[in-house]
Amino acid sequence: PGLNSRWCGEWGGRCSLQLCAALPAASVQAQNQPVIAMILLQFNARKLVSQVGHCLKRPSKLQQTQIEMSRQSSDLAEFREVFAKAKHITILTGAGASAESGVPTFRGAGGFWRKWQAQDLATPEAFSRNPSRVWEFYHYRRELMLSKNPNSAHIAIAECEARLSKQGRKVVVITQNIDELHKRAGSKDIYEIHGSLFKTRCTICKHVAENYRSPICPALAGKGAPDPNTDDAKIPVEHLPRCEKSGCNGLLRPHVVWFGETLDSDILMEVNKELEICDLCLLVGTSSIVYPAALFAPQVAARGVPVAEFNTVITEATTQFRFNFQGPCGTTLPPALARHESEVIF
């Protein structure tokens, strides 16, 4: 109470969350706020939820009922009129956008690989202790994703981007997903804020490279089975994926953001620019509980820009948005992004 609720900051370091109200108001106003928003807030991706979770409590049953009554019937025709006028559309996507492609989230009940959940394996500490086990986990995920295909939500977004680009309009995808299904569907303008399963980073020279090999190295062939009774392969570190840059041969790791790590500051600066200039924002298949992405759509809504949420459930942020369309994204999104009657056909 009494604090300015606007978040400020940069996603970096292992520092605690800071509120804009901790600064004199004049100093905030006197500077470029988007830049401040990427500099002042520093947080640990692993611990942030516990620090701010009390600020975004899950709605009560009564509140959920009220939200459902007022939001479930969001007028598609009204959204379509807003969509037809938008020149710069930002689409934020989360795990729900890929759910209909059969992509596991490794979250919640049943979200285990063998006897571990993602937060047990997706950390620098876990990789340092047992790189073989962590690589088995990511090898399994890579091989699984190679068997999956973009669903109708991914395709609708890609087709919308291609169509509107011919009209001088822009569609940008900002995704938390690491599966590259947006890319495979044909989207071009994509920010992968959590990285990609199909990129590696050298732990020595830091070189980042695309890698679609199957298996990624011979020692991982046939490994990574998710059954809880499967024993670790205990692959010697020298046989795990290695850097191919001349003279390096360092151990490779997946180029994804692990718990306790910071997001790429350059990508976040670009994302912040998109959030500041878009005139329509779609929130697709995200629970609005993973930070910093949970702050993106509310940031846009705070500017008075229409935000449309497409999800199977009510989220903590639903009441902040102008539109809410409940149901599988592969069902609700295609008609929302289809060609509007006012569009010129090229």
Among 94-98, 169-173, 295-299, 313-317, the range scoring the smallest mean pLDDT is 313-317
pLDDT of residue 345: 76
- Measured CA to CA in angstroms, residue 323 lies from 79, 81, 229, 275 at distances of 7, 12, 46, 18
Question: If you search the block for the tokens 């087709």, which residue do you land on?
Answer: 159
Which tens digit of pLDDT belongs to each residue from 309-344? 999 988 888 999 999 999 999 999 999 999 999 988
- Distance (Å, whole) CA 321 – CA 104: 28
Which tens digit of pLDDT belongs to each residue from 48-97? 333 333 334 455 554 554 445 444 348 999 999 999 999 999 999 999 99
Which tens digit of pLDDT belongs to each residue from 92-149? 999 999 999 999 877 655 578 999 998 899 999 999 999 999 999 999 999 999 999 9
DSSP classification of residue 53? G
Here the tokens at position 292 are 């910093």
Show Cβ contacts of residue 122 under 8 Å, excluding neighbours closer than 6 positions.
134, 256, 258, 259
Kindly report the average pLDDT of the chain as a whole number: 83
Strand partners, 171: 89
DSSP H helix total and E strand total for the chain: 14, 9
pLDDT of residue 4: 31
Is it the case that residue 37 has pLDDT exceeding 50? no
Is it the case that residue 47 has pLDDT exceeding 90? no
Here the tokens at position 137 are 């986990």
- Measured CA to CA in angstroms, residue 274 lies from 33, 46, 69, 175, 227 at distances of 14, 25, 32, 13, 42
Q: Cα 256 from chain centroid?
A: 11
Question: If you search the block for the tokens 């993106």, which residue do you land on?
Answer: 296
Are 212 and 179 spatial neighbours (Cβ–Cβ below 8 Å)?
A: no
Mean pLDDT of 274-293: 93
Are 38 and 9 spatial neighbours (Cβ–Cβ below 8 Å)?
A: yes
pTM of this prediction exceeds 0.75: yes
Active site residues: 194
- Distance (Å, whole) CA 158 – CA 9: 31
pLDDT of residue 146: 96
**Share of residues in the chain with pLDDT > 70 (%):** 77
